[in-house]
């Protein structure tokens, strides 16, 4: 078991095998549960085509009712001669080039580059201007059709599903969080996983948009409820000095789950249909949940606290349960208030990146959808890696001095902000011959490189996500064991509100008064609020940690002497 110490999980070595297994089942079940979170995103158009409407129907409706589209169509028809001649010319040049160099037939990108070079010699300034104008008209027509399709898709499918997914998840977390601090957690977690995975499985068999929305909402139950249960159990499996590392591993599992789920759905959906990923993700988690009930043991509440260890080893039990009076203590603890207060401002940059970045880079900066999607994927990869590495670094710093942890998080929020602001303000792709050919023909012509924004996005995301693992350990280490389920239900509710409200604030509130790029810059600068909160935590977090340690020492003394330990509020006072 020495390997566990080497990877920062040494506290598990002293645990019985069934308690040790609890941690690894938590990791596995959380990963599969979070795989479900983004299963719809890669295939959303296909799901909407089947359950809502089709692009063909939308295009016909737009052609009948949209004056701007009608105007663009009239302009497009004026350019038909030019675009038709271009298509014939490109076909002839391609034929000549592949006849001379047959290998180009199997290398579309190299062929496109060769055609581009040939076209440069045949295109004067006037023709280039006309081609760019035609390309803009074609693109604008496509954008209007897609926007009309997206409105129906978002209204009847994606928007409603997301709203109820996060709303039900947040509300459920409140109830489950309170139960987490009152009842045995093992059975509660089993029920949570089953009630989250079953609707995921059933989603594969829906026949209407309303059924889809209902089942996605029910799936939110599992994701919302698993948070307070998971972090309550982690608090009892690990001591204060090693919780940051444990939380980092859990965050890595959840982040990988989201990423793997999206990648799997994107790969399997086009080949096997959008329904298959829901089955493939749900069944393993249902199996894991049964094995979890059979093979694991719930750790005793409070057994991760160093201050309680001696009394519990002597046979005393930590039997504290949450009481309504504890809520006053929860909301009067400065660390809790600062963590909750930065939730919605901190969600706004993430709301921009995961909701608007692909469309922003495609529509406003003229990158291809594939390039823009690749940028978000690379950014997400950096964010997953940063959350894990940041947790490991935070654990080391916490063991040296408590205040170093919030200092690290505040510095990383500011450090990640700068490169990501550059990503937001990256210059548009120039409208040149390569861009016109990529829009007007089927050639895969290389346009502006996405490399610069991708590198900045990766490192910015990696640095900026450092707080994501550490903030959960912060909450565990300032709240007593019987309050942790409730604390994480409140934290999860604030987080879900941020995820739901942030895109609305960016698109519907800021968008009314500012340009698109100005709105996005304002959203990014909300991280300054987070940095200020972390600066405050540098002061109050060490104090709250010491208060909890004193409370637990007093309770341990009462447990050892056989006296009733008293409530959280009384001990804290």
DSSP string, 238-284: S-GGGHHHHHHHHHHHHHHHHHHHHHHHHHHHHHH-TTHHHHHHHHH
246, burial (CB in 10 Å: exposed 0-12, middle 13-18, buried 19+): buried
Cβ–Cβ < 8 Å for 33, 197: yes
Interatomic CA distance for residues 390 and 256, integer angstroms: 15
H helices within 305-450, ranges in order? Answer: 306-313, 326-332, 334-341, 343-355, 357-359, 369-400, 404-424, 433-440
Nearest residue to 185 via CA among 237, 255, 244: 237
Burial of residue 559 (CB within 10 Å: 0-12, 13-18, 19+) is buried
For residue 66, what are the contacts with CB-CB under 8 A and spacing of at least 6? Answer: 144, 148
Task: Please name the residue ranges forming H helices in 7-107.
Answer: 17-35, 44-51, 55-65, 67-78, 80-100
Task: Give the residue from 317, 302, 319, 335 showing the smallest Cα distance to 481.
Answer: 302
The residue extents of the domains of the chain are 25-55+139-300+326-564, 56-138
For 205, counting Cβ atoms within 10 Å of its Cβ (0-12 exposed, 13-18 middle, 19+ buried), the class is: exposed
* Alpha carbon distance 562, 543 (integer Å): 29
CA angle 65, 68, 73 (to 5 degrees): 90
The whole-angstrom separation of Cα 42 and Cα 268 is: 10
Burial class of residue 157 (count of CB atoms within 10 Å of its CB; 0-12, 13-18, 19+):
buried
pLDDT tens digits for the chain (573 residues)?
Answer: 578 888 889 999 999 999 999 999 999 999 998 898 878 878 888 898 999 999 899 999 999 999 999 999 999 999 999 999 999 999 999 999 999 999 988 888 899 889 989 998 888 999 999 999 999 999 889 889 988 888 888 778 777 777 777 777 777 778 888 899 988 999 999 999 998 899 999 999 999 999 998 898 888 888 888 889 999 999 999 999 899 999 999 999 998 998 888 888 888 888 899 999 999 999 999 999 999 999 999 999 999 999 998 888 888 888 888 888 888 999 999 999 999 988 878 888 887 887 778 878 877 787 877 788 889 889 989 999 999 999 999 999 999 999 999 999 999 999 999 999 999 999 877 778 888 888 889 887 777 788 999 999 999 999 999 998 899 999 999 999 999 999 988 888 777 777 667 777 777 677 778 887 888 899 899 999 999 999 999 999 999 999 999 999 999 988 877 644 444 443 333
CA-wise closest residue to 215 among 225, 204, 230: 204
> CA angle, 542 as apex, 540 and 546 as ends, to 5°?
115
In sequence order, the 6+-apart residues with CB closer than 8 A to the CB of 152 are 48, 52, 53, 58
Provide the CATH topology of domain 25-55+139-300+326-564.
Growth Hormone; Chain: A; (1.20.1250)
Phi-psi label, residue 562: left if phi above 0, alpha if psi -120 to 50, beta otherwise: left
Question: Residue with structure tokens 């004026």?
Answer: 78
Length of the chain: 573
Retrieve residue 248's tokens.
Answer: 């980092």
Please give the Cα distance from 168 to 496 (Å, whole number): 10
Please choose, from the candidates 340, 238, 264, 326, the residue with its C-alpha nearest in 3D space to the C-alpha of residue 34.
264
Alpha-carbon distance of 489 to 477, in angstroms, equals 16
State the virtual CA torsion across 546, 552, 555, 559 in degrees, nearest 10: -150
């Amino acid at each position: 078991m020495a390997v566990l110490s080497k990877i920062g999980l040494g506290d598990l070595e002293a645990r019985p095998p069934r308690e040790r297994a609890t941690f690894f089942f938590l990791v596995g079940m959380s990963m599969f549960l979070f795989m479900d979170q983004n299963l719809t995103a890669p295939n959303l158009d296909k799901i909407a085509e089947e359950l809502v409407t089709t692009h063909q129907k939308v295009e016909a409706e737009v052609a009948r009712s949209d004056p701007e589209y009608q105007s663009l169509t009239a302009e497009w028809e004026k350019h038909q001669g030019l675009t038709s001649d271009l298509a014939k010319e490109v076909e002839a040049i391609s034929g000549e080039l592949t006849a001379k160099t047959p290998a180009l037939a199997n290398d579309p990108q190299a062929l496109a580059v060769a055609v581009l070079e040939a076209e440069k010699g045949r295109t004067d300034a006037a023709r280039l201007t006309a081609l760019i104008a035609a390309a803009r008209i074609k693109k604008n027509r496509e954008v209007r059709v897609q926007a009309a399709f997206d409105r129906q898709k978002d209204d009847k499918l994606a928007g409603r599903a997301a709203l109820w997914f996060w709303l039900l998840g947040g509300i459920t977390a409140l109830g489950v969080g309170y139960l987490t601090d009152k009842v045995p957690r093992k059975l509660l977690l089993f029920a949570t996983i089953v009630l989250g995975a079953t609707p995921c499985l059933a989603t594969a068999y829906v026949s209407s948009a309303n059924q889809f929305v209902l089942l996605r909402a029910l799936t939110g139950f599992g994701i919302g409820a698993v948070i307070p249960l998971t972090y309550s159990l982690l608090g009892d499996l690990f001591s204060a000095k090693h919780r940051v590392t444990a939380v980092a591993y859990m965050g890595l599992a959840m982040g990988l789950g989201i990423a793997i789920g999206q990648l799997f759905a994107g790969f399997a959906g086009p080949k096997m249909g959008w329904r298959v990923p829901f089955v493939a993700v749900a069944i393993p988690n249902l199996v894991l949940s049964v094995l979890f009930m059979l093979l694991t043991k719930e750790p005793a509440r409070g057994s991760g606290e160093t201050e309680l260890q001696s009394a519990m080893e002597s046979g005393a039990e930590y039997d504290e349960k949450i009481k309504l009076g504890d809520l006053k203590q929860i909301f009067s603890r400065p660390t809790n208030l600062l963590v909750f207060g930065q939730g919605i401002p901190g969600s706004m940059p993430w709301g921009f990146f995961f909701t608007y970045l692909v469309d922003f880079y495609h529509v406003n900066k003229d990158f291809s959808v594939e390039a823009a999607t690749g940028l978000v994927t690379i950014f997400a990869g950096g964010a997953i890696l940063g959350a894990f590495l940041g947790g490991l670094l935070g654990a080391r710093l916490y063991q040296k001095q408590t205040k170093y942890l919030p200092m690290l998080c505040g510095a990383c929020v500011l450090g990640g902000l700068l490169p990501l602001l550059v990503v937001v303000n990256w210059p548009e792709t120039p409208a040149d011959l390569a861009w016109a050919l990529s829009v007007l023909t089927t050639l895969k012509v290389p346009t502006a490189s996405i490399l610069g924004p991708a590198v900045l996005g990766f490192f910015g995301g990696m640095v900026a996500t450092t707080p994501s693992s550490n903030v959960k350990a912060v909450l565990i280490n300032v709240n007593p064991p019987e309050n942790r389920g409730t604390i994480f239900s409140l934290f999860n509710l604030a987080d879900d509100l941020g995820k739901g409200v942030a895109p609305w604030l960016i698109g519907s509130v800021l968008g009314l008064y500012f340009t698109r790029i100005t709105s996005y810059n304002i959203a990014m600068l909300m991280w300054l609020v987070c940095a200020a909160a972390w600066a405050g935590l540098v002061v109050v977090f060490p104090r709250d940690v010491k208060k909890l340690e004193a409370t637990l020492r007093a309770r341990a003394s009462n447990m050892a002497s056989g006296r009733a330990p008293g409530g959280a509020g009384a001990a804290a006072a």
